[in-house]
């Protein structure tokens, strides 16, 4: 079992890999606050359903919702596309369906990271036949240089380089989601 070793320089070591801070906690929270304000303004008079993509988006969705000032609902999809690897398998599997009816509703898909765009394409194709009134996407992180599928991200927290990241909901073999900031694998 790999243990996290914190060092004085604020990097962490997992096995033989070194991760360095990419986005600090205060920077994350400030950006999430701004996203919440913008979404609240854009949806005045509406009651959107925020659909979080498990497991990665749970922290982001929790903090985002704290900054939403309009009435809203929450539901979740659970997908798998990475397994325990650092790169997508290229296949998306639906592990948990929605419990709500999205027909005629305003939908906001909440994702932790959009990498290739495959998962987002899959989700949009899953929801579209139910004829929502609108469907928008908010993603904390987007890797523009890694996008292989044309997907529109309406609200973006941060554009990041095409490198492996962990923390704040993002995992490595299902661990390290509990880190309070986002770390990137050092070269």
Beta bridge partners of 184: 20, 165
Query: Do residues 183 and 171 make contact, with C-beta atoms less than 8 angstroms apart?
Result: no
Catalytic residue among 63, 106, 112, 115: 115
CA 184, CA 164: separation in Å to the nearest integer? 6
Query: Any catalytic annotation for residue 42?
Result: no
Task: Spell out a b/e string for 79-115, using b for 16 or more CB atoms within 10 Å of the CB, else e.
Answer: bebbeeeeebeeebeeeeeeeeebeebbbbbbbbbbb
Residue 168 burial class via C-beta count within 10 angstroms: exposed 0-12, middle 13-18, buried 19 and up = buried
DSSP string spanning 103-172? TT-EEEEEEEEESSSHHHHHHHHHHGGG--SEEEEEEEEE-GGG--S----SEEEEE--SS-EEBTTB-B
Q: What residues act catalytically?
A: 115
């Amino acid at each position: 079992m790999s243990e996290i070793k914190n060092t004085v320089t604020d990097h962490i070591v997992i096995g033989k890999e070194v991760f360095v801070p990419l986005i600090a906690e205060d920077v994350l929270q400030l950006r999430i606050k701004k996203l919440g304000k913008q979404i609240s303004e854009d949806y005045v008079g509406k009651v959107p359903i925020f659909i979080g993509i498990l497991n990665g988006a749970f922290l982001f969705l929790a903090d985002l919702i704290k900054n939403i000032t309009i009435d809203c609902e929450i539901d979740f999809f659970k997908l798998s596309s990475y397994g325990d690897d650092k790169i997508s398998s290229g296949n998306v599997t639906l592990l948990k369906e929605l419990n709500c009816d999205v027909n005629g509703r305003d939908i906001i898909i909440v994702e932790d990271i959009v990498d290739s765009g495959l998962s987002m394409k899959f989700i949009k194709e899953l929801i579209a036949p139910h004829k929502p009134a609108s469907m928008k996407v908010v993603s904390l992180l987007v890797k523009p240089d890694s996008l292989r599928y044309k997907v529109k991200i309406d609200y973006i927290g941060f554009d990041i380089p095409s490198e492996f990241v962990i923390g704040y909901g993002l995992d490595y073999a299902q661990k390290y989601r509990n880190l309070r900031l986002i770390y990137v694998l050092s070269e």
